[in-house]
Structure 1
């Protein structure tokens, strides 16, 4: 078939990714051995894991963790660590086994784990990709310690709001991320952007807002309905701008806050929270 390697042949035959093909070949060689170019047999590296896999008591994900752990350790530790991890693999899922493997490597080769931690930071990434329906798909990768920071910040905000809170866990975490951003923007702790404190900026014409037709737009391209903008404007700094027929600004007024501290207290006493139809946000989330 013209394949230049076993992984290449597997990739083309089974139609899997190159990375997955390489992992499968590496697992197979470690479990069952291989041969050199001259035909000399190479003994399997993981005979205990091979038997456990054949017996159906561990999965391929378990095998990958055992193999990658063994690969980082000196040969004198291979048999002992393989036996330990395979025994634990019959009791724990791959995620928990991976944590046990990390602790094992940290005990036997602490300098290697430190290096992995540094490499994990270099691999961090975060992206927000706009989908065809206008929603944003959030993707990323964080090092373990950075993920702990984010989880610590989000966890208090992701708890159910009460016994009637029927949001899914994933929805609550998404809401928590947005709420965290709101709180940071309102905290006056971010560096200035363009000479101003970072803020959510939405532009819409007075007529559209009044008649609730059309769409406003955010600085980053989001299209937002007048109904949502009216909800946001319950407590916002509003800057009137006069535009000509070509959309060029002719006059920019001063920003005006719509809610003073005194009015805020009165609104909380009156409404006990957000008064927008269908909104159940508590008072501390409103009128900021």
Structure 2
């Protein structure tokens, strides 16, 4: 279908309207599915289940049929969520994410709290994509039942850690042509240790670049492969790992100030992966752990310094505060980001947390290319952006919700 010429504003409005109508039609399908089940049509036609009946009737996969059945039950039980789907503020993919989040709530959560959780998640849907909504769903108890959240978070983290540890594996399989395929799975703690060891050796070879004058020719994957080999060579020869930005490789564990003062509880590694209180206590026995202490609103109070130079500590604290590129909607992790000076260093801006923000390479260029975006720290100490006037005439502040994690509950 070829559309008649539309202005940019008209085209965007048309896209929004059609998408909203598509979600409303999805709601109508869910209502029909629920009514089919209520009338007992699948059983009357000798189908073994509603899922099997839907699969045959609509010619869809078993997975898609199961999703329809689950969502139909969910919106039938929760009128507020049903209304959000009908209005198009919750799309089909977000509804699947909400259903999955509610399905894993513990048995101790009553119907009222469960319904409230669905309502809160539906309220977040207009500003969160499915991935971010999935993260929000994992921490929903922090918002609707904080008295249950900490115990459930610890139970979930310990179960996840136990499962990840049990499933750890590493294989080296000769292909037969001089290559060896490396495959494996690590738990979060082990992955953080391996990453901390590899990172200092994964940088482009500056010396070779200066000598050859042609720049680094290795791909990132090749540099990681070389780094793994070099780490093993160093270990075999009894050597020591090189410095990383002025500090030895180390793991950062983020905990709240109250927890540090009283009793350690759940925290998260510097790559954002959550760890249980048991793991925090065990890792805290190692003098190489660098604690990042947070205040009640998540402000970083102390980064703990193992050397006089603060560069490494500031970067770790910046990673912990921002969680990745802070540009709205970006999902790039801290290791892919630059430390951007909000007030340029050349204009006297200091290199400290109050003047720094993580930006990936692309969005770092966006900020420096004078596209109209402005970055600043809000009153709570976290970065926010003022969009250009062409995008939002009112220039309402925007934030990246993708990396957001409540403190001190860190189930992400």
TM value normalised by structure 1: 0.45
User: Which structure's relative contact order is higher, taking Cα pairs within 8 Å and 6+ residues apart?
Assistant: 2
Larger Rg: 1
